[in-house]
Copies of this chain bind each other. A is one copy, B any other.
Amino acid sequence: MAQQPSTSTDADHAPSVDELTPPDRTLMGPGPSDVNPRVLRAMSTPLIGHLDPSFVEIMNEVQELLRYTFRTDNQWTIPVSGTGSAAMEAAIGNVIEPGETMLVPTNGYFGGRMASMARRAGGDVVEVDAPWGEPLDPADVSDALAEHDPDVFGFVHAETSTGVLQPDVPELTAAAHDHDTLVIADTVTSLGGVELRVDDWDIDVAYSGPQKCLSCPPGASPLTLSDEAMEKVLSREEAPRSWYLDLSLLEGYWGDERAYHHTAPITNVYAIREALRLVAEEGIEERWARHERVAGALKAGMEGLGLEMNAPDEYWLPSLNAVRVPEGVDDGEVCDALLERYDLEVAGGLGDLAGDIFRIGCMGHSARPKNVIYVVTALGDVLESMGADVDPGAGVSAARNTLEE
């Protein structure tokens, strides 16, 4: 742990901590994204109790808005009281029973996290391989299903660590269902930004985070389960290993009974309600189109600078753009310089792609033309100052032209 002043326990010497004045960042990394001022304002609303009849109404509204955004009729659609990883563990920890097998992908950071959570739930893990930076091949998934006959198959719809969109989702879910395998989809970086149709695509369970394409501060995270998946959860032989994330207990609170389980994060529920209202006002399909349009300009800007996208166009992920780091440039130095000179957050690569890519988000309220122009300008300037072979003027022109198309 970081060292702290040794006076901290002396009651006569209370710590003196200044007013909160964080820097004014522009958030174009892998999340969080910039938050719409309406959502921030909603968070300064005074609290009501988590069992107040008025809060129950708010819960209903949030569920309805979440269903709209997930494109599902699933009754069991809630915000989990924690950040995206809590929703992820709620999904895996409730669906997987000890001794069951989960098939997970190896083509990015979050497949590894799925494996870790499945093991902690008492499950066995088998893998379907693809290189980092590529999607799963449906043929490989079919082979793995045939070989391992897993109880659950998890995949990542939008891989935040590689900037890859998984195509062919209906093909994957159909293959899984042929083996009576339930499908859990990680939609952390797709929900509200990239086409996602939980019902039409026959996804059994999907979880997400609020701080990506929903542009909502983290703390209450979307989760949806089909009736069939929920039936499996409710008929478990052994209780899930987390009390906090036990969906059979949460059913008492979010279901008809409205019984106390734990205190909901009231302000985070206010926030996601407002963030989802913005989705509904824009319209979900128009929102997907906006992300594609604005991120398309970002991509054009990057290519105009002379940089290369890591993913081929077929599985380009508009919400998270993986851009190759030019030869001889240190990605960490670039990110630091962008933060220092431009108050701009973008990120480097992780795992197998560490040092190889920049990860530039284009999500929710951050997916605006002005942010695109800003990031292309700033990155062009910083890379040029480091001696990279880039053309800042051409980058900005390409982005602007694409925006004006």
Instruction: Check: A181 CB closer than 8 A to any chain B CB.
Output: no
Q: Which one of B4, B199, B266, B271 lies within 8 Å of A67 (CB-CB)?
A: B4
Closest CB in chain B relative to A165 CB, distance in Å:
20
The answer to whether B4 and A64 have CB atoms under 8 Å apart is yes
The answer to whether A266 and B89 have CB atoms under 8 Å apart is no
A22 contact set on B, CB distance < 8 A:
45-46, 48, 52, 54-55, 58, 270
A121–B245 Cα distance when bound, in Å, is 13
Instruction: Check: A385 CB closer than 8 A to any chain B CB.
Output: no
Instruction: Check: A81 CB closer than 8 A to any chain B CB.
Output: yes
Given contacts A67-B9, A244-B85, whether A1 and B219 have CB atoms under 8 Å apart is no
The answer to whether B20 and A273 have CB atoms under 8 Å apart is yes
A1 contact set on B, CB distance < 8 A:
63, 75-76, 251, 254-256
The answer to whether A17 and B243 have CB atoms under 8 Å apart is no
A49–B211 Cα distance when bound, in Å, is 10
A50 contact set on B, CB distance < 8 A:
32, 218
Q: Mark A244-282, 1 if CB is under 8 A from B, else 0.
A: 110000010011100001111111101101101101110
A284–B339 Cα distance when bound, in Å, is 37
A73–B13 Cα distance when bound, in Å, is 13
Name the residue in A75, A117, A241 with the highest tally of chain B Cβ atoms < 10 Å from its Cβ. Answer: A241
The answer to whether B44 and A43 have CB atoms under 8 Å apart is yes
Closest CB in chain B relative to A245 CB, distance in Å:
8
Instruction: Check: A185 CB closer than 8 A to any chain B CB.
Output: no
How many copies of this protein are present in the complex?
A: 2
A273–B22 Cα distance when bound, in Å, is 12
A219 contact set on B, CB distance < 8 A:
81, 219, 265, 267-268
Q: Mark A229-245, 1 if CB is under 8 A from B, else 0.
A: 00000000001111111
Closest CB in chain B relative to A41 CB, distance in Å:
6
Given contacts A4-B67, A17-B273, A254-B1, whether A209 and B263 have CB atoms under 8 Å apart is yes
Instruction: Check: A345 CB closer than 8 A to any chain B CB.
Output: yes
A6–B23 Cα distance when bound, in Å, is 44
A330–B55 Cα distance when bound, in Å, is 23
Q: Which one of B68, B239, B256, B265 lies within 8 Å of A120 (CB-CB)?
A: B239
Instruction: Check: A401 CB closer than 8 A to any chain B CB.
Output: no
Instruction: Check: A108 CB closer than 8 A to any chain B CB.
Output: no
The answer to whether B120 and A83 have CB atoms under 8 Å apart is no
Closest CB in chain B relative to A316 CB, distance in Å:
23
Closest CB in chain B relative to A278 CB, distance in Å:
11
Given contacts A11-B71, A52-B339, whether A85 and B262 have CB atoms under 8 Å apart is yes
The answer to whether A47 and B75 have CB atoms under 8 Å apart is no
The answer to whether A265 and B217 have CB atoms under 8 Å apart is yes
Instruction: Check: A84 CB closer than 8 A to any chain B CB.
Output: yes
Closest CB in chain B relative to A206 CB, distance in Å:
14
A245 contact set on B, CB distance < 8 A:
242, 244
Instruction: Check: A24 CB closer than 8 A to any chain B CB.
Output: yes
The answer to whether A27 and B47 have CB atoms under 8 Å apart is yes
The answer to whether A243 and B84 have CB atoms under 8 Å apart is no
The answer to whether B240 and A15 have CB atoms under 8 Å apart is no
A53 contact set on B, CB distance < 8 A:
339
Give the 6 A-B CB pairs with smallest separation, nearest first.
A1-B75, A14-B280, A241-B241, A219-B265, A217-B267, A85-B262
Which residues does A use to contact B, with CB under 8 Å? 1-2, 4-6, 8-9, 11, 14-17, 20, 22-25, 27, 29, 31-32, 34-35, 40-50, 52-55, 58, 60-61, 63-65, 67-68, 71-73, 75-76, 81-86, 88-89, 93, 113, 116-117, 120-121, 199, 209, 211, 217-219, 239-245, 251, 254-256, 261-268, 270-271, 273-274, 276-277, 279-281, 283-285, 339, 345
